[in-house]
Amino acid sequence: MKIINKIKLGKDGLVVKGTKRLVHLRQGDLDGACAVYSMVMCLLMTKSITQKEISLSNENPNGRESVGRLINTLMNKQGLLRKGYVLDKLDVDLKHAYKRKITTEYFCKDDKINLLSAITTVLDEDKPVEIGYTYKRGGGHAIVVIGYNKENDSTLLFCLDPGRPIYDGMYWNNVLCVEDDKIQGYNTYNYLDKAEVFIDEAIAYEKTSTTKKK
């Protein structure tokens, strides 16, 4: 079993390693789309942002600084994108607004790559991964993958889902089971929703190694 080394269980719950900052955000803690909640969890895990910096109480962010640009892009200009956010657009906006703080790598099912292999590879490098998937019944969702485990002909992805609570003593609140030998169609079972889904895209997050002021 692999769990990225950026998180640990503290007395108050799942926290960023080396801090007391809680990792999991549930929709309602901030106002907006699941993709943005998942992005913020990844930024927290990489220590690229704090809850205080992303707080909605920051009414006048400095657009010349990275956090200010991020808040302006995702909150003030688009209202945290309440109607949803595809990850390729999120990745572009994040690179534009926050490139001095965070480095991302985007993967898509249309790139003719093994998306599951790409996800587990970056998890092995201890990077949190945001994934977007579609339901067989229609609609989509974005969550964060923080670890995985190989089991015979399938791979279990351990996830933080912003749509549901996380219980005390738990590293994750959702599990996706991916059938390794089924590379097309709805090859993934979402245990929380009891539904078949298809993983479409993913973003791996890593803190930029040479962070400049502003």
Cα 118 to chain center, whole Å? 15
Cα four-point dihedral sign 10, 14, 19, 25: negative
pLDDT of residue 172: 97
Q: Does residue 214 register a pLDDT over 60? A: no
pLDDT of residue 66: 67
pLDDT of residue 129: 98
Q: Does residue 7 register a pLDDT over 70? A: yes
**pLDDT tens readout for residues 170-191:** 999 999 999 877 756 788 999 9
Q: Mean pLDDT, to the nearest integer, of 150-170?
A: 93
Amino acid at 48: S
pTM for this entry: 0.86
**pLDDT band at 90, cuts 50/70/90?**
confident
Closest by Cα among 172, 149, 171 to 159 = 172
- Please give the CATH topology (third level) of the domain spanning 1-214: Cathepsin B; Chain A (3.90.70)
The residue that leads in pLDDT, 207 or 70, is 207
Classify 84 in phi/psi space as left (phi over 0), alpha (psi -120 to 50) or beta: left
**pLDDT band at 211, cuts 50/70/90?**
very low
Amino acid at 16: V
CA end-to-end distance (rounded Å), the chain: 38
**pLDDT band at 79, cuts 50/70/90?**
very low
Say if CB 26 and CB 11 are below 8 A apart.
Answer: no
Q: Mean pLDDT, to the nearest integer, of 16-29?
A: 85
Q: Mean pLDDT, to the nearest integer, of 23-37?
A: 72
> In terms of residues, how long is the chain?
214
Domain ranges of the chain: 1-214
Helix (H, G, I), strand (E, B) or coil at 177: strand
Q: What is the 3-state secondary structure (H, E, C) of 120-144?
A: HHHHHCCCCEEEEEEECCCCEEEEE
Q: Mean pLDDT, to the nearest integer, of 192-209?
A: 93
Distances in Å between the alpha carbon of 214 and those of 71, 90, 97, 167? 14, 21, 11, 37
Burial of 127 (0-12, 13-18, 19+ CB in 10 A): buried
If one counts every other C-beta atom within 10 angstroms of the C-beta of residue 46, the result is 21
Helix (H, G, I), strand (E, B) or coil at 151: strand
pLDDT of residue 60: 61
Q: Mean pLDDT, to the nearest integer, of 66-87?
A: 59
Q: Mean pLDDT, to the nearest integer, of 119-137?
A: 95
What is the average pLDDT value for the chain, to the nearest integer? 83
Closest by Cα among 115, 172, 107, 133 to 34 = 133
Q: What share of the chain is helix, strand, coil (3-state, %, to 5)?
A: 25, 30, 45
The residue that leads in pLDDT, 158 or 76, is 158
